[in-house]
Amino acid sequence: MASPPLVPVLAVVGVGLIGGSLTLALKRSGAVGKVLGVGRQLKSLRRAQELGLIDEVATLEQAAQQADLIVLATPIGAMASTLKSLRPHLRDHTLISDAGSTKVDVVSVAREALGDRIGQFVPGHPIAGAETVGPEAARADLYDGRNVILTPLEENSVSARERLIAVWEACGARVMLMDPATHDEVLASVSHVPHFLSSVFMWQVASSANSDQRFALAGTGFRDFTRIAAGSPEVWRDIFLSNREAVLGQLQEVRQALDQAEQALQDQDGQALYEFLERAALARRFWASRSGLQ
């Protein structure tokens, strides 16, 4: 007799790139039984069902009553209302996690919404994504070799933590454990601020009087620098507001670095400008070679 899958019933709230790729990865590895899809737009959920991302469309109440694992792949601003809706119907063994890009704010929201059931919530953040959105963007290999950060709570049991680690490893991911505050500070630097700067730059170019001419002449450098600015405004607005203090702190450091580089240019100090650019180039090359990314 075959053993049951790692996750007999999975519910994903928000079946787009992140949530849909999770379901495809678990289906690929045979780690999931039935997959329920929950969301705000029925049309999108029906499309996810057509693509094989989910098996059934469900409500939050049905997800809480049936699922062994519920993953929230929603904008951070929707976490509070989602968790509050799940709370009255949760079974004792059901595990909840999220894919939110910030953790301190999410943990605070979860504590308030779940109350004495907070031990069933293990916060998570897969470090994977793209500027594409919707069910069509999902792919089974999105998490292969990618990092997934979990920020377990003191109320989480060892078994709850281990179950979630096993789920992400079944997706091909590498799991890292971190405390929520450290997660938010680090991600503000290497994820949130880059998106903020890319969006600000894109806004500035698009708002210029000769924007059509600029876009006509833009090449691969412009493409690479602005790619992430095409991400979901709703998702990124919530991320910036949720991690506001850490993002503002990192922006101060970026502003100091910009002032330093600008001063070298103002002074026509070729040596200082060269050293600044060299340090940046070497750091980028070292990171690319170590991470396997280009």
Tell me which residue range forms the domain holding 283. 182-291
Average pLDDT, whole number, for the chain?
95
Residues 124 and 188 in one domain: no
Residues 197 and 230 in one domain: yes
Residues 139 and 216 in one domain: no
Residues 6+ apart with CB under 8 A from 153: 107, 118, 119, 121, 122, 123
- The pTM assigned to this predicted structure is 0.88
Which one, of 209, 29, 180, lies nearest residue 98 by Cα?
Answer: 180
SS3 content of the chain, % helix, strand, coil (to 5): 60, 15, 30
Lowest mean pLDDT segment, chosen from 17-21, 215-219, 229-233, 265-269: 229-233
Q: Is the dihedral of CA 42, 47, 49, 50 positive or negative?
A: positive
Q: Which residue has the higher pLDDT, 53 or 231?
A: 53
Residues 38 and 125 in one domain: yes
pLDDT of residue 293: 64
CATH of residue 19's domain is 3.40.50.720
CATH of residue 194's domain is 1.10.3660.10
Question: Would residue 29 count as lying in a domain?
Answer: yes
Residues 236 and 254 in one domain: yes
Position 291 pLDDT exceeds 90: no
Residues 164 and 203 in one domain: no
- Residues 106, 110, 112: CA angle, nearest 5 degrees: 120
Which percentage of the chain shows pLDDT scores above 70?
98
Question: Would residue 1 count as lying in a domain?
Answer: no
Say how many domains are in the chain.
2
Question: Would residue 2 count as lying in a domain?
Answer: no
Residue 25 and residue 291: Cα distance in Å, rounded?
22
Residues 172 and 211 in one domain: no
Residues 24 and 141 in one domain: yes
Residues 142 and 228 in one domain: no
Position 32 pLDDT exceeds 70: yes
Which one, of 47, 34, 55, 24, lies nearest residue 136 by Cα?
Answer: 47
pLDDT digits (tens, 9 = 90+) for 99-157: 999 999 999 999 999 999 999 999 999 998 766 778 999 999 999 999 999 999 999 99
Residue 130 and residue 251: Cα distance in Å, rounded?
23
Residues 158 and 274 in one domain: no
pLDDT of residue 1: 59
pLDDT digits (tens, 9 = 90+) for 261-279: 999 999 999 999 999 999 9
